[in-house]
Amino acid sequence: MSRLYNFGLYVHDNRKAVVVFAVASLLFSVGLLSQGEEFIDGNAPPPTTDSGKALNLIDEQLTVSASNTVTYILSHQEMTWQDEEFQTAVESFVIEIRELNLEIVSISTIYDDPTNQQVIATHSSIDGKKTAVYVSLAGSEADLTDQIPSLKKLDSETLDVTVTGSLIIGNDFDTAMKNDTIRAEVVGLPLSLIILLFVFGTFTAAVLPLLIALLMIALATGISYWMSDWWFFGLTEYSVSMISLIGIAVSIDYSLFMISRFREEIAKGESTESAIATMMDTAGRAVMYSGATVAVGLCSLFYFDATHMPSMGMGAFLAVAAAMLYSFTVLPALLSYLGPRINSLPVPIPGANRKTEFWKKLSIKVMSKPLRWLIPALVVLLLAASPFLRVEMSAGGIEALPPDMESRIGFEILEDEFPAYTASSIPIVIVFAEDDDPMSIEYSERISPYCQNIAEIEGVIGVNHPICNTELFEQEFSQWPIEAQEEWLASVSDNILRMSVPVQYRSGSDESERVVREMFEISEDEDFEALIGGWSAFEVELKDHLVERIPAVLAFVLGLTIILVFLQVRSILVPVKAIMMNILSVSASFGIIVLVFQDGLLTGFLNYSAQPIDLTVPPLVFGIAFGLSMDYEVLMLSRIHEAWEETGDNTQAVAEGLQASGSLITGAAAIMVAVFFGFVLADVLIIKSIGFALMVAVIVDATIVRAIVVPSTMRLLGKANWWAPNWMK
């Protein structure tokens, strides 16, 4: 008897203790959740990058940072800002802002200097019917979160008001992420219950997987809250989304596999104790290998440490670990109590729990003429993957929000209609050495050539920081122009100096990338530390990081997965073939997300705008989908391998294995599709696109690949499927 068999006996004999453990773990989870979270900003460059370090230094050491600004766009269909009534309405609106319980650093309007052309270009739309009011607030973004509702509520009786700005946009991202997770759970869990009722035909069996999923959500989310303020990568809100996205699917699937095997053993007349032990030794073993392969894919995300992928990977990893923990302990303990009563409370659903030989008949039909089935299937998969050859990628941005969200609408108005709006300013942070004196003329003379070199880059509008003007340092600070004094006080601390460099190009464009790369080159040649910050710099860092790391990640995932599958089936060809099939499934999903999200195939239905694919989506989908695809592969191969050991006939083993696992794979795939569909309805585009890609990968994997490619290739390879040198068996 194997260790898993004995473990099943142990859980059966100690089921009371296991139930106590379940209750204790739930209370522990609630305790962790009640402590709250301190997630880092998932919409900013991660702190492991130079661009992220620059923004963190700005947030920590300067009174006003890029993260606590609010911009109001006031407009009228007929009047312009030059009309007296328009001006009166703006001034009244500014009074309302000042009456809020906020520490306001500055409020900038067009009426500060209405004859200055630069002020006009910055504060007025081309037609003059819109004007911007820029508000800078003291305090960190976290400090201002509670004030955001009052900032959004401000209105004008005369003018239309649209609110945007980095503070509002960041809050909208965070709120959307939380709402997306809740919406996905509200959609996914009931749909999963319906599918489980159809698969099992009894309410008792159907409800157990949902119980395991709820325990998983509580524990994994609680641990992510606890880790949020100390894990060295830093966790973001995305980690919680991944817990629901991956955790619900695998929790229910693992429970489905194990409960199905338990019912199968009970139907044979086995005792509850024997059924539990056999379930652990068969379905439990498949779940163990499945969880290991999923974990391999997720661990690959940790290697992308200059992104937020480690945070997402950690969320998914916690979910899979919690799902396996409860599937191996609480689930068999509950089944030990239920025994044959697992089939109680039948539901009157037509076709529920119906036994057919569909999968066996289909596999025999496919294996009778394998090439006739295999070639068209491969053609379909390759055609589905082909759009990925023309993929365009970016680091994302405001376009990740829905096109009808107010903060995005306002941002796009500023970009499109305000001539001198500098949303694409690139911050540069100069870090002082211990003996540097930034107020000395010598330091200015040292930095001034650097300013000049940056200003000479094609596309840079200018570099106007006081440190660049050596003549200022020939006089006392009190004699500087007021504007220069204010700029200095707002941008210099004891340790850093920040200068904002406006550029002509939008973040994400090829021109913006060229500007940033030239900034990097100039900064590397200096004898002082200069960090290029902002989203444009992060996008360049992200591209370089992915190009450097992806080959190693591919080798790690493919190599370790081959080893894990080999350990299960002791075959040379089957693991290699399994890898190739998963690559086909994932590639097909890559191609389809290009059609949908880059080409805009479903923009109206899913409420997004067509745009380049987020740079992190392909590696994320690969890391997750590869493991999830192996989920079915491992289950199916375990049943085929069982049949092969019993019969020694490859064709019969494939037919019996597919028949034994086919309905389970269909049910498990349907559950995953239901869960992922909940995330397809998300507002945040990266979550929407990941959910869609995973949904497509699962559908392709559970239909074309498992129904056609697997039996046809197994038939063509024959007994060679199971060959391995004796010393490896």
**DSSP label at residue 432:** P
Average pLDDT over every residue of 492-500: 92
Burial class (CB in 10 A: 0-12, 13-18, 19+), 47: middle
Identify the domain boundary among 143, 170, 197: 170
What pLDDT sits at residue 714?
87
Average pLDDT over every residue of 49-60: 87
Up-side HSE of residue 386: CA atoms within 13 Å toward CB? 7
Nearest-angstrom CA–CA distance, 240 and 88: 46
Structure tokens that stand for 250 in this block:
């695998």
Q: 517 Cβ partners below 8 Å, 6+ apart?
A: 540
What pLDDT sits at residue 657?
86
User: Is residue 397 domain-resident?
Assistant: no
User: Is residue 141 domain-resident?
Assistant: yes
Range in 80-84, 572-576, 633-637 with the lowest mean pLDDT: 633-637
What pLDDT sits at residue 47?
81
Nearest-angstrom CA–CA distance, 34 and 246: 23
Identify the domain boundary among 144, 170, 196: 170
User: Is residue 109 domain-resident?
Assistant: yes
Give the closest residue to 320 by CA, choosing from 20, 681, 584, 630. Answer: 630
Range in 266-270, 496-500, 580-584 with the lowest mean pLDDT: 580-584
Averaged confidence pLDDT in the chain: 89
Label residue 573 by pLDDT band (50, 70, 90): confident
Average pLDDT over every residue of 377-382: 96
User: What is the tens place of the pLDDT at every residue in 343-359?
Assistant: 999 887 665 566 667 88
User: What is the tens place of the pLDDT at every residue in 525-545?
Assistant: 898 999 999 888 999 999 999
More confident residue, 355 or 391: 391
- Structural domains in the chain (count): 2
Label residue 292 by pLDDT band (50, 70, 90): confident
Average pLDDT over every residue of 316-338: 96
Nearest-angstrom CA–CA distance, 679 and 183: 8
Give the closest residue to 631 by CA, choosing from 675, 681, 596. Answer: 675
Range in 309-323, 503-517, 668-682 with the lowest mean pLDDT: 503-517
Residue 45 pLDDT > 90, yes or no?
no
Residue 655 pLDDT > 80, yes or no?
yes
Question: What is the torsional sign of CA 192, 194, 198, 203?
Answer: positive
Range in 56-65, 195-204, 268-277, 406-415 with the lowest mean pLDDT: 56-65
Percent of the chain residues past pLDDT 70, beyond the cut: 96
Nearest-angstrom CA–CA distance, 432 and 439: 12
Contact 643, 653 (CB under 8 A): yes
Nearest-angstrom CA–CA distance, 495 and 489: 13
What pLDDT sits at residue 64?
62
Give the closest residue to 303 by CA, choosing from 601, 651, 556. Answer: 556
Burial class (CB in 10 A: 0-12, 13-18, 19+), 440: exposed
User: Is residue 147 domain-resident?
Assistant: yes
Residue 35 pLDDT > 90, yes or no?
no
Range in 134-148, 392-406, 576-590 with the lowest mean pLDDT: 134-148
Contact 234, 56 (CB under 8 A): no
User: What is the tens place of the pLDDT at every residue in 145-156?
Assistant: 889 999 999 999
Label residue 204 by pLDDT band (50, 70, 90): very high
What pLDDT sits at residue 351?
59
What pLDDT sits at residue 338?
95
Identify the domain boundary among 498, 532, 566: 532
User: Is residue 635 domain-resident?
Assistant: no
More confident residue, 318 or 568: 318
More confident residue, 262 or 665: 262
**DSSP label at residue 229:** T
Note the Cα 617 to chain centre separation in Å.
8
Residue 562 pLDDT > 90, yes or no?
no
Range in 53-62, 342-351, 382-391, 427-436 with the lowest mean pLDDT: 342-351
Give the closest residue to 122 by CA, choosing from 180, 153, 530, 131. Answer: 131
What pLDDT sits at residue 631?
67
What pLDDT sits at residue 717?
86
What pLDDT sits at residue 324?
95
What pLDDT sits at residue 284?
92
What pLDDT sits at residue 728?
66
Q: Which domain holds residue 90?
A: 63-170
Strands 160-164 and 69-75, sheet pairing:
antiparallel
Average pLDDT over every residue of 370-376: 95
User: Is residue 382 domain-resident?
Assistant: no
How many other C-beta atoms are found inside a 10 Å radius of the C-beta of residue 223?
22
Average pLDDT over every residue of 129-141: 88
Question: What is the torsional sign of CA 46, 611, 601, 603?
Answer: positive
Residue 274 pLDDT > 80, yes or no?
yes
Give the CATH number for residue 104.
3.30.70.260
Label residue 67 by pLDDT band (50, 70, 90): low
Percent of the chain residues past pLDDT 90, beyond the cut: 57
User: What is the tens place of the pLDDT at every residue in 615-629?
Assistant: 999 999 998 888 777
The reported pTM is 0.88
Average pLDDT over every residue of 391-409: 90
Structure tokens that stand for 190 in this block:
């009931």
Give the CATH number for residue 470.
3.30.70
User: Is residue 504 domain-resident?
Assistant: yes
User: What is the tens place of the pLDDT at every residue in 90-108?
Assistant: 999 999 999 998 888 889 9
What pLDDT sits at residue 519?
96
**Nearest 10 degrees: CA dihedral of 300, 394, 248, 641?**
-50
Note the Cα 386 to chain centre separation in Å.
24
User: Is residue 719 domain-resident?
Assistant: no
What pLDDT sits at residue 663?
80
Range in 60-74, 106-120, 350-364 with the lowest mean pLDDT: 350-364
